[in-house]
Amino acid sequence: ILLSDGPSPAITPITPPTSVIAPLFIDTLCLDKCTTLREEVDDSFDINISVSDPEKVGDGMNAYMAYKVTTKTSMSLFKQREFSVKRRFSDFLGLHSKLASKYLHVGYIVPPAPEKSIVGMTKVKVGKEDQSSNEFVEKRRSALERYLMRTVKHHILLKDPDVLQFLESSELPRAVSTQALSSAGLLRMVNKAADAVNKMTIKMNESDAWFEEKQQHFESLDVQLRKLHISVESLVCHRKELSVNTAQFAKSAAMLGNSEDHTALSRALSQLAEVEEKMDQLHQDQANADFYLFSELLGDYVRLLAAVKGVFDHRIKTWQKWQDSQILLQKKREAEAKLQFTNKSDKLQQAKDEIKDMEGRVQQDERDFEQISRTIRKEVGRFEKERVKDFKTSIIKYLESLVLTQQQVIKSYFTFRYVTASV
């Protein structure tokens, strides 16, 4: 259940202070030709963030979870090599909100923040210390960690002062309107933008087939990922069911062992119960691996694709703005032409001035459009590269856990074989 975020903010992105953004833009313009250099810089990327030690602060409905955020790095960007701060969930949402408002509309794929959950948090607040609320906290902790790592892996976002402040500063001003851009809010905003675009009866003249192809590709990828996600969720569910059934089988085998007169047979049955209890544990571990390494990964990518879709839509809006400026310029030129045949010299001068301004705007809008197109191309390339790394990393962890599990299974059966041989 997602928190209803209230009315979405009007889609007017906050222009970041030029002192912060402009240098970066100039950066990308200058280094456009030096993309290889930039990637080499990325390869020396050395930062690891962990989110740990969830701690309940306060009581009742005002309580919240505080998480420890630890950064380990050798990069000169940071003041220290290892440092920790305490953050709460709304702080993460606040960070995302700021980043999204600064970077989304110029084409950067800003990783979405983890989902809100009223149900999950209420249980925690109310003080229920049961397995499901522990699972919820662990799920959230993991999601927050993945969110931060994805964010800092982005070479532009890493250098953002808000990100640096989030990681380093011991005190953080409370995020005020965190409703703004949680994942769900983002999706809603994206959908509204998409609707707005669709409602405009002008279709964009896509001069660049790359964008059309990419858009279609991402749409079909979205469908595939959702299917995979559902598939894995079903697998996780069955695995948990198997754990429960195995535990019950173990119990019943123990009972049979207790009722059995024949000593050796009784011992064998008790050993069977122990083996099955171990299997139960292994099934639970497996279910967790399925969940954290695949289900959450796929969920993350479904949400990431929403952000990707968002930047594509922003590009269309940027194009539209450029078109509108051109139309306006044309109108002003026509108006000036008409004024030529009148004797209102001061009005004519005003018209000429306005045209000058307008020409400037048209040029700027065209530059913006070209800029966002360039940025998106690079971002998509980065996304597709990261995607491979991400999946490969998860899969390797998963396979390692599978091999380990099987080894423990083998060990269990060896013990059992030894005991039953003496029957």
Partner 1 sequence: MMMTEENEVESTLSVCGHNIQIAEVLKDGEMLSFLIVSQKLSGTGEYHVHRNYDDFEWLQHNLFCQEDVAGIQGVIFPPLPAKAQVNTAAKVMKQLGFLSLGEWQPYCKALEVFLQQVAAHSILSKNKAVEVFLTNPDSPGKQKVKKNIFNRLSQAVDGMRKEGHKDVDDFFQTARDHNLVLTNCTKTVTEKLLEVVQTEQKIAVACGHFSAALLLCVEPGDDPNKQAFSKVCVKLSEVFESMKKSTTGVSENDVSTMGLGLDLESRYQEAIKEMLFRRTCKLVELEHARRNAEKAKPVKKAAMEELRKAAETEFEDISRVAKEEITRFEAVRVKMLQQAMVQWCEKQLLTAKECADQFTQHLEVFRGMNFK
Site for partner 1, residues 69 to 98, rule: CB under 8 A: none
Binder among 113, 187, 272, 308 for partner 1 (CB under 8 A): 272
Span of 102-110, 152-160, 232-240, 308-316 interacting with partner 1 by CB under 8 A = 232-240
Chain centroid to CA 345: how far?
Answer: 58
* Single-letter amino acid, residue 292: Y
For partner 1, the binding residue among 48, 122, 231, 330 (CB under 8 A) is: 231
Q: Which of 346, 369, 337, 355 is nearest to 106 (CA)?
A: 369
Any contact of residue 253 with partner 1 (CB under 8 A)?
Answer: yes
* String of DSSP letters for 329-388: HHHHHHHHHHHHTSS-HHHHHHHHHHHHHHHHHHHHHHHHHHHHHHHHHHHHHHHHHHHH
Stretch that binds partner 1, among 48-56, 94-102, 194-202, 386-394 (CB under 8 A): 386-394
- Least Å distance, CB 374 to partner 1, is 18
- 348 CB-near residues (< 8 Å, 6+ apart): 336, 339, 340, 342
Q: How far apart are CA 213 and CA 227, in angstroms?
A: 21
Q: Is 376 in the site for partner 1 (CB under 8 A)?
A: no
Residue choice 164, 265, 339, 355 for contact with partner 1 (CB under 8 A): 265
Residue whose CB is less far from partner 1, 341 or 414: 414
Binding flag, residue 235, partner 1 (CB under 8 A): yes
In degrees and rounded to multiples of 5, residue 85 shows phi and psi of: -140, 165
Q: Does 109 bind partner 1 (CB under 8 A)?
A: no
Backbone angles phi and psi of 176, in degrees to 5: -80, -65
Q: How many residues bind partner 1 (CB under 8 A)?
A: 56
Q: Which of 241, 334, 353, 357 binds partner 1 (CB under 8 A)?
A: 241
Q: What is the DSSP string of 224-266?
A: HHHHHHHHHHHHHHHHHHHHHHHHHHHHHHHHHHHH--SHHHH
Does position 261 bind partner 1 by CB under 8 A? yes
Q: Considering only CA atoms, which of 154, 302, 308 is closest in space to residue 228?
A: 302
Q: Is 403 a binder of partner 1 (CB under 8 A)?
A: yes
216 contacts partner 1 (rule: CB under 8 A)? no
Binding stretches for partner 1 (CB under 8 A): 217, 221, 224-225, 227-228, 231-232, 234-235, 238-239, 241-242, 245-246, 248-249, 251-253, 255-256, 259-262, 264-265, 268, 272, 381, 384-385, 387-389, 391-392, 395-396, 399-400, 402-403, 406-407, 409-410, 413-414, 416-417, 420-421, 423
